[in-house]
């Protein structure tokens, strides 16, 4: 199984993350941030990954450090689980609707970190979750996983719907990218013959 496990401990947070790319969509998360737990469940459920996230952070200040460190750890775990990336499809593309919201995600497991984020979220918060943290979550994940990621809102008025559609689209795009391409016969999907974070 392609599994990554990461423990990240700082003065601000204590985070443990694991991901199984060949899972069945099981999510166990306890981050102290209910809306983020809900979004991690979307990644697992729609990507068919097994995701386990346990985090304790300085939530008495705000959610920023915990949100960031979970994403950094998840990106590192994804990097581990991908290994040398032999035989994977590499690219993923999905557009997810949720009622009036529609979000398009395209990604490349290229080894090169880059985020293009075009998401107008109408409210500052969903529940207690600061909607600015959505971009920060994906930027942090991109930085450690070495992923090129484009996220674009096509429509939407409800902040919850927009963010959830984003996470669902990300999950399905990542699922496509991490799945094996039988025609590739185990080769690395790059004309350079290598895909690495370096």
Q: Are the CB atoms for 78 and 145 separated by under 8 Å?
A: yes
Closest CA to 23 of 45, 6, 54: 45
The alpha carbon of 63 is separated from its chain's Cα centroid by a whole number of angstroms, namely 17
Distances in whole angstroms, Cα of residue 94 to Cα of each of 86, 102, 104? 22, 10, 6
User: Residue 116: its pLDDT value, please?
Assistant: 98
Half-sphere exposure of 79 (CA within 13 A, CB side): 24
User: Residue 129: its pLDDT value, please?
Assistant: 97
Q: Are the CB atoms for 103 and 162 separated by under 8 Å?
A: yes
Handedness of CA 27, 44, 144, 57 (dihedral sign): negative
pLDDT per position as a tens digit, 53-92: 999 999 999 999 999 999 999 999 999 999 999 999 999 9
Helices of type H across 11-158: 34-47, 64-82, 132-145
pLDDT mean over 159-169: 98
pLDDT per position as a tens digit, 32-61: 999 999 999 999 999 999 999 999 999 999
pLDDT per position as a tens digit, 92-119: 999 999 999 999 999 999 999 999 999 9
* 1 pLDDT tier (thresholds 50, 70, 90): confident
The C-alpha atoms of residue 165 and residue 133 are separated, in whole angstroms, by 16
Question: Hey, which residues does 4 pair with through a beta bridge?
Answer: 19
Give me the CATH code for the 3-182 domain, please.
3.30.230.40
């Amino acid at each position: 199984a392609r599994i990554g496990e990461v423990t990240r401990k700082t003065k601000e947070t204590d985070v443990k993350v694991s991901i199984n790319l060949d899972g069945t969509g099981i999510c166990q998360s306890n981050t102290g941030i209910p809306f983020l737990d809900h979004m991690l469940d979307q990644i697992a459920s729609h990507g068919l990954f097994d995701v386990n996230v346990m985090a304790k952070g300085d939530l008495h200040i705000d959610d920023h450090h915990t949100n960031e460190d979970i994403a950094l750890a998840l990106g590192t775990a994804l990097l581990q689980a991908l290994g040398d990336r032999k035989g994977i499809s590499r690219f993923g593309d999905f557009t997810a609707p949720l009622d009036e919201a529609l979000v398009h995600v395209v990604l490349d497991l290229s080894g090169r970190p880059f985020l293009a984020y075009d998401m107008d979220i109408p409210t500052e918060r969903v529940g207690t979750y600061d909607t600015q943290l959505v971009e920060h979550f994906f930027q942090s994940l991109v930085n450690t996983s070495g992923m090129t990621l484009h996220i674009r809102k096509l429509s939407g008025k409800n902040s919850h719907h927009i963010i959830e559609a984003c996470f669902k689209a990300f999950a399905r795009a990542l699922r496509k990218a991490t799945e094996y391409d039988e025609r590739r016969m185990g080769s690395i999907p790059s004309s350079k013959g290598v895909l690495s974070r370096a």
